[in-house]
Amino acid sequence: MLRVGLFIAVLGLVGALISGLAAMRVYDQESMLDRSALTREIDIHANLVQERLGERELLARVAVGIFRPSTVASANALQPLRASIYAFKTDFVVASWIARVPPQDFSALQTELKRAGFPRPTIRSFDDSPVDLAAIHAPADIVMDVEPQNQGTLIFPGRILDNHPVVGPMLREALEHGAPVSSNPIALFGDPRQIGVVLAAPVMKENSQTVAGFITISYRLAPLMLGNDEMSLFNVTLADPRPGGGELAVNGNGETVTATPVSGWVPFLRKVSFGGRDWTLKYYAKPNSTSRAGDLGLVVLAIGLGLTTALCGLFGYVAYNNVRLSREIQARIGFERRLTAVIDELNHRVKNILAVIQSIVTRTLRHGSDLDSARDLLIGRIHAMSNVVTLLSDSQWQGVKLKGLFEARSIPHADRIAVDGPDITVSARAAQSLSLLFFELASHSDEGLSLVGKHPHIVAHWTVSGEGSDTIFHFRWEEFNTSTATRRPDSEFGIVLLDRVAPEALGGTSKRYFTDVSYVYELTAPMATVVDENELTRTTKIMRRA
């Protein structure tokens, strides 16, 4: 009997010990799973915020690219942009055209404001107080047009914003850098319950680097950065960049207010970029994400103490499940890391392609007076980009064959081009540059008959010379039976691409000239940049992880 009691006591002691260890193990695992889920939700939220901010900044850049006011001091300058602004569906509060006006044009500006029917067609300070125009000797930034035009916004035109405590420094910074700049948080319409941020994009005068004015777009801060689901595992705040610091959060009424940091809680920090500056988001875990792990630990402990007779078998089962759960957690973490790497690479490539397309659109439409010709060139250039992306996707971004860039679906007049050269595989970066280069060359060759009554005959020839790190790629494009009198002149975008963009992208040099019987374009670049082994190795590693 004593032995049985001793055995039961030992079994109970072992059962209690094992139950406690199992409870602690479950608590640790659930805490780790909760933390992993919390981190994943935070990353998703930060990426969504960055995506929204990128869309807003892209809207400003697109608006500047297509903005052409009839005059700097035009009171209806936003009219051509209204359809584009609303098409982006970015939920802006107000957009405005702020003209940079010299003192001698103040009188004409007031006449324009009066003609447009604004309720206060006079030049005044940002707070509607009168100003002495005779004392102003430098260009002033004056609101000339707003969108939407309603009772709350029609009072803005005519205000000088140079001395505004928030907007003024933003405009000066945008003027200095020549790029979109965001402001500090500001009370929209003077209402402290509507905290927002203003993005200012400078507009250059035609054929000049002088700033003609600014397009500004205002957004509410709450839906822009602080939007959050009630079922999420965290609360999000924004580090206030204004003097005094603090944090900004959204209350139950959807208003942005100053938040009190939670004592004893260390937030997760994520940075997002907008308007040429970094913004810090702070994420605080909600208490229920940690209490659940503690409750599960107590349940396991209670069950273990109640079933001491089966504790050894239960321990083996729990140990087995712990190993399985640990492997699943490690597999899940590894998968998420691989997925993050693939997504980051995809984001990098998409951003590069969007930047190239934005440059194509801006430069094609910037100085083109013939809209039909500009449209055809724009469609062709984007189609060339689309084709090379298709080829790269088919090869899983492992590069494309150089001869594949001369297919009829890629460039015009492909049937007149004689291609000669080794069928090398070029990198993704080089393929994008070369695809646009070949399209520009082909699209400006003669489409009709030349002076001798024949179509131009085109020869595209390339060679590879040298060995090792000194290997050089030589490309030569020659259009026979053409001359300066018959060949279509290169466009502004084409000249920039042929002479600067393509050679710089490949780290080489180029030249173009006419001979007695032909037009010639030559490009020389290191083979290392054309093939780009570093890019190929990096892409191969990412594909293996996926």
- 3-class SS of residue 108: helix
Distance CA 128, CA 107 (A): 18
**Look-up: residue for tokens 């040429």?**
276
Band of the pLDDT at 544, cuts 50, 70, 90? Answer: low
The CATH number for 233's domain is: 3.30.450.350
Residue 47: count of CB within 10 angstroms of its CB: 15
Whether residues 278 and 388 fall in one domain: no
Whether residues 376 and 520 fall in one domain: yes
Helical axes 533-545 vs 311-366, angle rounded to 10° = 140
Whether residues 129 and 199 fall in one domain: yes
* Domain-located, residue 158: yes
Mean pLDDT computed over 59-88: 77
Lowest pLDDT segment from 132-146, 269-283, 294-308: 294-308
* Domain-located, residue 543: no
Distance CA 136, CA 147 (A): 28
Mean pLDDT computed over 242-256: 84
* Domain-located, residue 340: no
- 486-517 pLDDT per residue, tens: 777 777 777 887 888 888 888 899 999 888 88
* Domain-located, residue 159: yes
pLDDT for the residue numbered 225: 84
**Residue type for position 313:** G
- 192-219 pLDDT per residue, tens: 888 999 999 999 887 778 888 999 999 9
pLDDT for the residue numbered 160: 94
Contact 199/171 with Cβ under 8 angstroms? no
pLDDT for the residue numbered 43: 92
- pLDDT at residue 539 greater than cutoff 70: no
Whether residues 227 and 295 fall in one domain: yes
Distance CA 94, CA 143 (A): 12
- pLDDT at residue 241 greater than cutoff 70: yes
- 97-114 pLDDT per residue, tens: 999 999 998 988 899 889
Report residue 512 as tokens. Answer: 């173009």
Q: b or e along 531-543 (b: 16 or more beta carbons within 10 Å of the residue's beta carbon)? A: bbeebbeebeebe
Higher confidence at residue 330 or residue 364? 330
Whether residues 374 and 472 fall in one domain: yes
Whether residues 46 and 157 fall in one domain: yes
- pLDDT at residue 451 greater than cutoff 60: no
**Look-up: residue for tokens 């290191």?**
526
Among 272, 306, 340, the domain-final residue is 306
Sequence length of the chain is: 546
* Domain-located, residue 497: yes
Distance of CA 518 to the CA centre of its chain: 43
* Domain-located, residue 35: yes
* Residues 6+ away with beta carbon under 8 Å from 138: 103
Among 267, 287, 306, the domain-final residue is 306
Which of these, 166, 115, 165, 113, lies nearest to 142 by C-alpha position? 113
- 3-class SS of residue 284: strand
The CATH number for 452's domain is: 3.30.565.10
- 528-538 pLDDT per residue, tens: 888 866 655 55
Bridge partners for 522 per DSSP? 476, 511
**Count of domains forming the chain:** 2
* Domain-located, residue 176: yes
* Residues 6+ away with beta carbon under 8 Å from 132: none
Whether residues 300 and 394 fall in one domain: no
Whether residues 359 and 294 fall in one domain: no
pLDDT for the residue numbered 244: 80
pLDDT for the residue numbered 362: 63
Contact 94/146 with Cβ under 8 angstroms? yes
* Domain-located, residue 344: no
Domain that includes residue 384, residue range: 354-537
**pLDDT exceeding 90 applies to what percent of the chain?**
21
Band of the pLDDT at 472, cuts 50, 70, 90? Answer: very high
Whether residues 288 and 429 fall in one domain: no
Rounded to two decimals, the pTM is 0.51
Higher confidence at residue 27 or residue 285? 285
Whether residues 36 and 134 fall in one domain: yes
Whether residues 286 and 190 fall in one domain: yes
Whether residues 181 and 301 fall in one domain: yes
Q: Running DSSP on this structure, what letter comes out for residue 500?
A: I
Query: What dihedral angle (degrees, nearest 10) is formed by the CA atoms of 288, 294, 296, 297?
Result: 170
